[in-house]
Amino acid sequence: MAAAPAAAEPEPAPVAPAPAPAPTPAPAPAPAAAAAPAPAPAPAPAPAAAPAPAPAPAPATAQSGAAAPQMAAGALLSPLVRRLIEEHQLDPATISGTGVGGRITREDVLAVVDSHAGTPAAAPAAAAPAPAQAPAPAQAPAAVAAPATAQAAPVSASAPAAAPKSSVIPMVPGTGERVEQLNKIRRITGQAMLASKASAPHAITIVQVDYEGVERVRHAHRAQFKADEGYSLTYLPFISRAVVDALHEFPHMNASMGDGAVILHDAVHLSVAVDLGYEGLIAPVVRDAHDKRLRAIAGDIHDLAGRARNRQLGPDDISGGTFTLSNSGSYGTLIVVPIINQPQVAILSTDGVARQPVVAVDAFGVESIAIHSVGNLTLSWDHRAFDGAYAAAFMARVKEIIETRDWAAEI
């Protein structure tokens, strides 16, 4: 309520310039008998000095105006990266990009934010004294006190900008409850997923895939493959291989969103989401997946997943992905709708594979009921990059490759 009067007092200020000629030194001696009462009204026009502090907010306006040119002059940024930079008031020129072609990625911005997590508190404290000095030249201390409070409000209003950097919500747990702080990975992931949902219009496309051909190859080569490689052959490498081939036929899937533009990537760098013991997830990248066959892709996925769980990944292992796979199939899921890994335009989720009755067609076109291994694939995609027909055609092609390829030739 105290702030309301402070804001109301400056209103007479615009009227003050009209009476200003009246209190000139010459008319003042005229009412000799009323000399004592005359000074009483005099302080009322004194708030005319209030406009003097008004220019104080100008530096803040100048700063905010300067931020826009910095963003405009920077390299091509995705909407997600631009939003994070603006939220945390960073200069893109000071951020080293690790993405394709040196582009700034979400991880680059969040790394800078995390490294400066301790500095924001000092910045507002240092900024606060600046407005306190502005009222000093005022002539009437009593009249300046109110504007000083009014000016302090805009400074404190910028303070909440530091709030998103905190991972702790003050609260008092009740009986049988406890407060658990978010770890670094979950905090960064949460910020990225929230920004992705806010900036990209998500749409989904789902297809059902008959894995019977894949299952027969896995069953026939399972023992020998494990003896040769030291790990089991799962469905994921088959799906990955099919996706990589389909991406070449649908280049707008293997792309990133920029400022009003889509960046198409010739190379396929496949990000594969890895769960870190329910404490978060990370998506290391299979480099140049377009040059690799089934066994090589399986080896890369196994290696990256192991190093991810042992916290042995480097910056190059998690940057530069062009398309992402999320695998929840081992838990027997039916449909999982993932969130796009910005600035990519799509992410594919693999779900559980189960034995189900299907209509099988033999080489002569004769239909019969058979029990096959069946599962769903779900694609989340950015509607800014393409439309539903394109997404459906891509998924149909992935399904076709999985169901009809001679996989035994690649083992």
Residues classed as catalytic: 383, 387
Output the six-digit token pair for 87: 């939220």
DSSP 8-state assignment for residue 277: T
Tell me if the bond preceding 343 is cis, omega within 30° of 0. Answer: yes
Tell which residue, 294, 288, 113, 284, has the closest CA to residue 217: 294
Q: How far apart are the first and last CA of the chain?
A: 75
Tell which residue, 401, 404, 348, 397, has the closest CA to residue 376: 348
Cα 116 from Cα 127, distance rounded (Å): 17
Tell which residue, 311, 353, 306, has the closest CA to residue 328: 353
Query: Taking a C-beta distance cutoff of 8 angstroms, is the pair 225, 411 a contact?
Result: yes
- Helices 141-158 & 58-73 angle (0-180, nearest 10): 20
Phi and psi at residue 369, to the nearest 5°: -90, 130
Cα 171 from Cα 105, distance rounded (Å): 34
Q: Which amino acid is at 253?
A: M
The H-or-E segment that residue 282 falls in is strand 281-282
DSSP 8-state assignment for residue 259: S
Q: Which residues, 6+ apart, have CB-to-CB distance to 162 below 8 Å? A: 120, 121, 124
Query: Taking a C-beta distance cutoff of 8 angstroms, is the pair 387, 345 a contact?
Result: no
Query: Taking a C-beta distance cutoff of 8 angstroms, is the pair 308, 284 a contact?
Result: yes
Q: State the chain's maximal CA–CA distance in angstroms.
A: 121
If you search the block for the tokens 């026009």, which residue do you land on? 45
